[in-house]
């Protein structure tokens, strides 16, 4: 077998070590100033660079200490409150939706589309019925942009604010336009695993002044609220905000800035690897490659989660297939995180902010695609560094070997 050290897991450690320029800027910041003084220094620099990264299609960018905090500010700004609900996909990272609970709002789950893994608008139509829904959240799942044409149409039809969670989708584009520039607000997590990372951090972008005022008051009381909150009634709260402080530290802004500078190169390599891996999968009998329409760009291609075909899943099972792959030095696993309905926060809520569900829960039977995809998906490594190509040759070869082995097992 291939006992070569280059096949050790993970093949490609993440996050990448700092450059010398990043290290010296961090040290200089430590000597100079460790406080946050409104929208200044590396915080302002990163926010401006991030707007440019979105082709300057957003006027405002506000950093937070996590994507979760940025989402909480976004939900507040978009009107999620007690007695209202936000609507989002049932199979995604929990924090895309759960900050709404901290505002007393409820979360309504819709099914996903099997191809895109993003929210299904057909399911959303069925579940929205009687809820006092305020926000539609689309998550560009695994870097694949949601159908923003339908998202915008759906939000307009139902009088909802549109929130894009772009935490998987730094650099992703829909019809040539960066995700994060379609909604009333958008949030990108900058957590250490994300394609652009601060360590811990998040950024909210918007073109809506009211969103700016409200989100600033949630995360940034005093200096920044004093200079940036324009609405005279909201400005009265500048020194206290609404009781929270969830802003980003200058150190994290420095890390984020350097990560953004290195982004383009990293993504180029990731595309080369994953496009090749996907085309190998497309030639197998037991795996479903991703279908990527021409109108979208996968950007950072945050995760690569192809499916086991149904027959192989039912006869051989995912655990066995994962075991076969790992024995052949492929760093494949079952994806973590299941359907949100199975989380106590989404199903019971007795111990949390809302106490009792205000909104009728979506029944599991409405979420059949979410359950099916959660069961059949595989998690492959995503590469982000140039190598000599032997690693991808290895995956090419071993995937075909495992495919043949599954064929044999299906027929016994």
Ligand X SMILES: *Cc1c(COP(=O)(O)O)cnc(C)c1O
Beta strand pairing call for 185-189 and 202-206: antiparallel
Cα angle vertex 63, ends 137, 141, to 5°? 30
Among 63, 189, 362, 382, binds ligand X (CB under 6 A): 189
**Stretch touching ligand X by CB under 6 A, among 30-38, 92-100, 151-159, 265-273:** 92-100
| 67 touches ligand X (CB under 6 A) | yes
Binder among 92, 123, 278, 382 for ligand X (CB under 6 A): 92
Round to whole Å and give the CA distance between 109 and 366. Answer: 9
Nearest CA to 382 out of 302, 288, 265 is that of: 302
Is 194 part of the annotated catalytic residue set? yes
Binding segment (CB under 6 A) for ligand X, from list 60-68, 154-162, 242-250, 277-285: 60-68
Please tell me the distance from the alpha carbon of residue 159 to that of residue 152, in angstroms, as a whole number: 10
Q: Does 65 bind ligand X (CB under 6 A)?
A: no
Please state, in angstroms and rounded to a whole number, the distance separating the CA atoms of residues 37 and 249. 10
Quick check: 378 binds ligand X (CB under 6 A)?
no
- Strand pairing class (133-139; 161-165): parallel
Q: Which is nearer to ligand X, 109 or 325 (CB)?
A: 109
Measured distance CA(323)–CA(308) in Å, rounded: 14
Q: Report the distance separating Cα 307 and Cα 320, nearest Å.
A: 14
Binding mask 198-237 for ligand X (x = CB under 6 A): ----x-----------------------------------
Could you say which of 25, 113, 147, 165 contacts ligand X (CB under 6 A)? 165
Q: Residue from 50, 75, 76, 93 that binds ligand X (CB under 6 A)?
A: 93
75 vs 329, beta carbon nearer ligand X: 75
Q: Is 279 left (phi over 0), alpha (psi -120 to 50) or beta?
A: alpha
Q: For residue 286, state whether it binds ligand X (rule: CB under 6 A).
A: no
Nearer of residues 229 and 256 to ligand X, judged by Cβ: 256
Collapsing DSSP states into helix, strand and coil, what is residue 333? Answer: strand
Which of 84, 116, 123, 167 is the binder for ligand X (CB under 6 A)?
167
CA distances from 189 to 41, 85, 256, 316, 383 (A): 21, 22, 11, 37, 20
Position among 191, 246, 249, 278 found at the interface with ligand X (CB under 6 A)? 191
Interaction between residue 249 and ligand X (CB under 6 A): no
Q: Which of 36, 139, 195, 277 binds ligand X (CB under 6 A)?
A: 139
Instruction: Count the neighbouring beta carbons within 10 Å of the beta carbon of residue 320.
Output: 14
Q: Which helix (H) or strand (E) holds 81?
A: none
Residue among 241, 255, 327 nearest 19 (CA):
255
CA distance 259 to 374: 31
CB–CB of 199/304 below 8 Å? no
168 interacts with ligand X by CB under 6 A: yes
Least Cβ distance, residue 96 to ligand X (angstroms): 4
95 counts as binding ligand X under rule CB under 6 A: yes
The least distance separating ligand X from the CB of residue 212, rounded to whole angstroms, comes to 20
Sole window of 31-39, 61-69, 108-116, 128-136 interacting with ligand X (rule: CB under 6 A): 61-69
| Closest approach of ligand X to the CB of residue 202, in Å | 5
Q: Which residues contact 228 (CB under 8 A, 6 or more apart)?
A: 38, 39, 212, 213, 216, 220
Site string for ligand X, 328-347 (x = CB under 6 A): --------------------
Which of 161, 194, 257, 349 is an active site residue?
194
Give the range of 150-158, 164-172, 217-225, 400-408 binding ligand X by CB under 6 A.
164-172
Question: Which range of residues in 89-97, 109-117, 354-362, 374-382 is near ligand X by CB under 6 A?
Answer: 89-97
Contact flag: residue 367 with ligand X (CB under 6 A):
no
For residue 264, count other CB atoms closer than 10 A to its CB: 10
How far apart are the C-alpha atoms of 107 and 95, rounded to whole Å?
12
Q: Which residues are catalytic?
A: 194
Interface with ligand X (CB under 6 A): 66-68, 92-93, 95-96, 139, 165, 167-168, 189, 191, 202
């Amino acid at each position: 077998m291939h006992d070569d050290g280059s096949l050790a897991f993970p093949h490609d450690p993440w996050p990448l070590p700092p450059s010398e320029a990043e290290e010296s800027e961090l040290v200089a910041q430590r000597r100079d100033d460790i406080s946050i003084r409104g929208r200044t220094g590396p915080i302002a620099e990163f926010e401006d660079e991030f707007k440019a990264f979105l082709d300057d299609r957003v006027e405002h960018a506000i950093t937070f200490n996590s994507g979760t905090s940025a989402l909480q500010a976004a939900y507040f700004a978009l009107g999620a409150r007690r007695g209202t609900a936000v609507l989002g996909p049932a199979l995604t990272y929990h924090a895309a939706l759960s900050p709404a609970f901290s505002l007393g709002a409820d979360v309504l789950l819709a099914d996903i589309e099997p191809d895109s893994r993003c929210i299904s608008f057909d399911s959303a139509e069925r579940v929205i019925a009687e809820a006092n829904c305020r926000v539609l959240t689309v998550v560009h799942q695994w870097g694949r942009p949601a159908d923003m044409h339908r998202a915008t149409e759906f939000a307009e039809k139902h009088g909802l604010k549109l929130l894009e969670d772009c935490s998987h989708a730094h650099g992703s584009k829909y019809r040539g336009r960066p995700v994060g520039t379609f909604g009333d607000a958008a949030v990108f997590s900058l957590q250490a695993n994300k394609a652009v990372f601060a360590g811990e951090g998040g950024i909210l972008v918007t073109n809506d002044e009211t969103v700016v005022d409200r989100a600033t008051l949630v995360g940034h009381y005093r200096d920044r609220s004093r200079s940036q909150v324009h609405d005279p009634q909201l400005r009265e709260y500048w020194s206290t905000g609404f009781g929270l402080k969830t802003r980003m530290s200058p150190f994290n802004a420095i890390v984020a800035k350097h990560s953004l500078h290195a982004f383009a190169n990293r993504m180029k390599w990731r595309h080369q690897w994953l496009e090749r891996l996907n085309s190998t999968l497309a030639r197998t009998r037991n795996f479903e490659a991703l279908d990527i329409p021409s109108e979208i760009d996968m950007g950072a291609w945050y995760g690569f989660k192809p499916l086991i075909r149904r027959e192989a899943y039912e006869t051989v099972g995912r655990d066995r297939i994962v075991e076969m792959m790992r024995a052949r030095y492929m760093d494949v696993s079952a994806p973590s995180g299941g359907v949100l309905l199975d989380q106590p926060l989404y199903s019971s809520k007795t111990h949390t902010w809302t106490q009792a569900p205000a909104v009728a829960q979506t029944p599991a039977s409405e979420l059949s695609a979410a359950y099916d995809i959660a069961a059949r998906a595989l998690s492959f490594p995503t590469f982000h560094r140039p190598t000599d190509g032997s690693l991808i040759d290895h995956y090419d070869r071993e995937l075909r070997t495992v495919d043949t082995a599954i064929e044999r097992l299906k027929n016994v």
